[in-house]
Amino acid sequence: MKTQVAIIGAGPAGLMLGHLLRAEGIDVVVVERSSPDYVLGRIRAGVLERTTTYLMDQLGLGARMHAEGLPHDGFHLADGERMIRIDIGALTGRQVMVYGQTEITRDLMEAAPGRDLEIVYDAADVALHGLESDAPCVTYSKDGAVHRIDAQFISGCDGYHGPSRKAILASVATAYEKIYPFGWLGILADVPPAIMNSSTLIMNGALRWHRCVRKSGAAIISRCQQTRQSNNGRTINCGMSWQSAWGRKRPHI
């Protein structure tokens, strides 16, 4: 198989890039090691910045996002008795959108066939070759056979643990990393909104809530604490006051 661009990874980054390239008439093949159901089962961040919503609108794929998403004009920082309002709308003229990246992935996946964006799922043993040459290629196994994609360009959108990062020669790779001294634990619960009729995120010390206007109601709690190092990498020290967060006994999760 030959194509202009081979994209490794069918998450939101890989699919967004694939759609943008197809909109310009560029041939693309996306290779994903997991199944479509598995990809959609990966829960991702839930707040979209303006760049993402703009690109979805430019692609003509933003209808469901605007119908189901929750635009936010800003947020409050609460610390004890203090409440500080950060008005994103007034300061930048923009909003953020509460709409899960998993739903962005679904929208991009469902639009792919109608836009001739080829996606190969369940591709095992994905490997990149000839990255230092003018004729790179990708190989993978599927249905008991080894397949090869010759491409002019290869784009690695498969995250930290994917084959793309490992294929880059150490002599030409430069890694930029920022490690923050805290982590987040988010919990989505099917309960009435914590703050009714609000278009504002509130970050109260260690707790973060956002409203949801669906009939069943929902609330998100996020607890921020310092991280601690363990043998298998960075973990989160998870402490939470359920009584103060929920106003009742701990829910069953």
Domain CATH for 27? 3.50.50.60
Q: Do 147 and 224 lie in a common domain?
A: no
HSE at residue 36, side-chain half, CA atoms within 13 A, is 10
Q: Do 131 and 221 lie in a common domain?
A: no
Residue 71's pLDDT is what?
86
Q: Do 29 and 153 lie in a common domain?
A: yes
Residue 125's pLDDT is what?
96
pLDDT in tens, the chain (253 residues): 999 999 999 999 999 999 999 999 999 999 999 999 999 988 777 788 899 999 999 999 999 999 988 888 887 776 677 888 888 889 999 888 888 889 999 999 999 999 999 999 999 999 999 998 999 999 999 999 999 999 999 999 998 889 999 998 888 888 888 888 876 665 555 555 555 555 555 554 444 444 333 443 334 444 444 444 444 443 333 333 333 333 444 444 3
Structure tokens given for 168: 């880059």
Residue 123's pLDDT is what?
97
* Number of domains comprising the chain: 2
Q: Do 140 and 191 lie in a common domain?
A: no
User: Tokens 């990708």 appear where?
Assistant: 138
Do the beta carbons of residue 125 and residue 143 sit within 8 Å?
A: no
Q: Do 185 and 239 lie in a common domain?
A: yes
Q: Do 83 and 106 lie in a common domain?
A: no
Do the beta carbons of residue 26 and residue 4 sit within 8 Å?
A: yes
Q: What angle do CA 72, 39, 230 make, to 5 degrees?
A: 80
Residue 203's pLDDT is what?
53
Residue 253, domain member (yes or no): no
Residue 72's pLDDT is what?
84
CA atoms of 145 and 210, how far apart (whole Å): 48
Q: Do 38 and 108 lie in a common domain?
A: yes
Q: Which amino acid appears at position 112 of this protein?
A: A
- Residue where a domain terminates, one of 167, 188, 210: 167
Residue 157, domain member (yes or no): yes
Residue 170's pLDDT is what?
83
Residue 147's pLDDT is what?
97
pTM: 0.74
Q: Do 84 and 204 lie in a common domain?
A: yes
Which helix H or strand E contains 236, and what residues bound it? strand 233-236
CA atoms of 52 and 158, how far apart (whole Å): 18
